[in-house]
Amino acid sequence: RRDVARRDVARRDVARRAGAMEIITDAREMRAWTRARRARGERVAFVPTMGALHEGHLALVDIARARCACDAVVLSVYVNETQFAPGEDFDAYPRVGDADERAARARGVDCVFAPKRMYANEGEGEGAAHETYVEVAELSKGLCAKTRPHFFKGVATIVTKLFNVVEPDAAVFGKKDYQQWRVIRRMARDLDFDIDVVGGEIVRESDGLAMSSRNLLLTTENRGKATVIYRSLSEAKATAERAPTTSDALVTRVSERIRDGGGEVDYVQAMEPESLTPYVGVLDSPCVIAVAAKFGSVRLLDNVEIMCGE
């Protein structure tokens, strides 16, 4: 096994010198890849994704190099089954394979980790099925968890597993999924991961719609309607920064605008940026307004940060 590992490291070093991007599917090989670089004094950054890469994902690769001062970037592609409940869009979630590899290579990703599976299955020579999960108790409450109570247990578990496999120095997550970003930061702190968890700003289409892999599932009509999310959030931000206003007034206005625009509101909430507790009263300190809304069967997320009082 040691000889095989040495040959794998030598092969990867040749590929690295040639400027080639590695594609790894095995957890042991992924660990060896990272450890070889860290042994040379390099820093490794990690961008976890579920694939169907768009500019929002690829911007996180740029952040990994610039803000995290890392020498190598690993990007994972894995559609995590444990964050989907029965009847959700696990089977429909976009999977584009070769297109993801081309996009990652063009952006200068050093390694794509694309495991076939991440959970032990009973009956496949692994004994009992996977039974260990990670939960972040308080930050996982409310917001997305109201309608998807299983979601953050699945997210925290898969990210923990990926952190243990990739062993990065830094990891970059998009802030479009604002609650998820906060949950992962808290998990990394509480479990003593020596990983800098960095948030990347939302990347938008030219009409303001937050980039998301699920945008591919929107009909042409609903794609046009969905732009009301960002318009309503932008109006709320401008209102709060122009004159004193309450969180309730902003939430009411954003909710009305989305419904009038053809969306089904899951939630609109004004909240404290770190604790995610509801923001109450006149805005005089930083606040986040987060939205989840459906257009047709497609659920979209977005948010704006309002820096009142700074």
pLDDT at 85: 87
Angstrom distance (rounded) from CA 14 to CA 20: 9
Strands 170-174 and 111-113: unpaired
How far is 308 from 21, CA to CA, in rounded Å? 44
Q: Which pTM value belongs to this model?
A: 0.90
Place of tokens 């700074």: 310
Of 145, 66, 157, nearest in space to 118 by CA: 157
pLDDT score at 147: 92
Q: How far apart, in Å, do the first and last CA atoms of the chain sit? A: 57
pLDDT tens column, 179-213: 999 999 999 999 999 999 999 999 999 999 999 99
Kindly report, residue by residue over 233-243, the tens digit of the pLDDT.
999 999 999 99
pLDDT at 3: 52
Q: Which pLDDT score is estimated for 9? A: 45
pLDDT on residue 174: 97
Q: Decide: helix, strand or coil at residue 125.
A: coil
Q: How far is Cα 301 from Cα 175, in angstroms, rounded to an integer?
A: 10
The series of mean pLDDT values per 10 residues for the chain, 310 residues long, is 48 53 97 97 97 95 94 96 90 90 96 95 79 96 93 96 98 97 98 97 97 96 98 97 96 98 98 97 97 97 91
Distance (Å, rounded) from C-alpha 244 to C-alpha 246?
Answer: 7
What dihedral angle (degrees, nearest 10) is formed by the CA atoms of 250, 255, 261, 264?
160
* 57 tagged catalytic: yes
Which of the following is catalytic: 54, 57, 130, 150?
A: 57
Q: Is 68 helix (H, G, I), strand (E, B) or coil?
A: coil
**Residue 119 tokens, joined:** 């959970």
